[in-house]
Structure 1
Amino acid sequence: MMDYSDLNQKDLTAKVEELQQEIEGLKIDKADLEILLENITEHSTNLENEIYGKNEIMVKYLKQVEKITQAAAAIEQGTFEINSLNEVAARNDELGQLARVFQNMVQQVKQREENLKQQVEELKIEIDKAKKDKQVADIVENDSFKSLKEKLKRLKKEQKKD
């Protein structure tokens, strides 16, 4: 600390004015710092709100990714409902595109399955018809059937004679 006892009135007055100017400068600095603090606080609140909003968007996005994962598991279990991905498919981003492609693939696989089932049924019918035709042919080719057929012809001829 400085010893002011050696200074005269004029020097003391000058020193007081100097200190008052320094106080005014400090007041200005304090006001500037308060404005800076207010701006930083406001900016950090804005950043916090922005981060919170982005986090909400990310949570929603991840929930929709989970829906696609659940859809894949449902396909594996045979319980998939195509409309379960409509909300995700409505998005205009890559995730929405993935959901639409996924729905389209499932529809195509189901259509192929139906076509294959129909073809299997048609083949079963053809096989059954072929088996019947073979059984009929076996019966017709059989010697006892041939002999019955000959007897029938003879009986018809005899009936015509009578």
Structure 2
Amino acid sequence: MTLSKNGEICLVLIVAVMFILPCLMLGLIYESEPYHVIPGEPVKAAADAAGISVVDVKGTLWNMAGATGGKTYTLTDPEGDIAYVAIQAFNSAESRDAAVRLYNAHAPGKGKHVGNMIVAGQYLIYATPANSPIFAKLVPALQQAAKTTT
């Protein structure tokens, strides 16, 4: 089976559109989180609002450019689920977004940890396990906290 030159060009265009169009759609649908300072401890406030208990808190500093410090929380809910949430503040939108790009550059199992990351203001928040019901309860409260400070 042979394709004409027009058929080959058409096939290349269709394949290109199949890959480019979804990327453009995602870019239009999802806005980047604006950089703004969220005061206080947003994870603790969100956990309290969602009825989640904070079992342990430890200070932490990620080894990344622009990271200014954060905390790692051990959380539990009334059903007995346990999750770990690490939050790290960054000194600029550029350094925060560079950390997100670095995280997304790794495939799971090849340097990328299995968890979920969200952006809220100056913070990157990483929770594990990814499918934790605690994280599902925590995210809406974190998003609300981020909205109320802008």
Under TM normalisation by the shorter chain, which class is it?
Answer: under 0.3
* Structure with higher RCO (Cα < 8 A, 6+ apart): 2
Structure whose residues are more often strand by fraction: 2
Higher Cα radius of gyration: 1
Structure whose residues are more often helix by fraction: 1
**TM-score, length basis structure 1:** 0.23
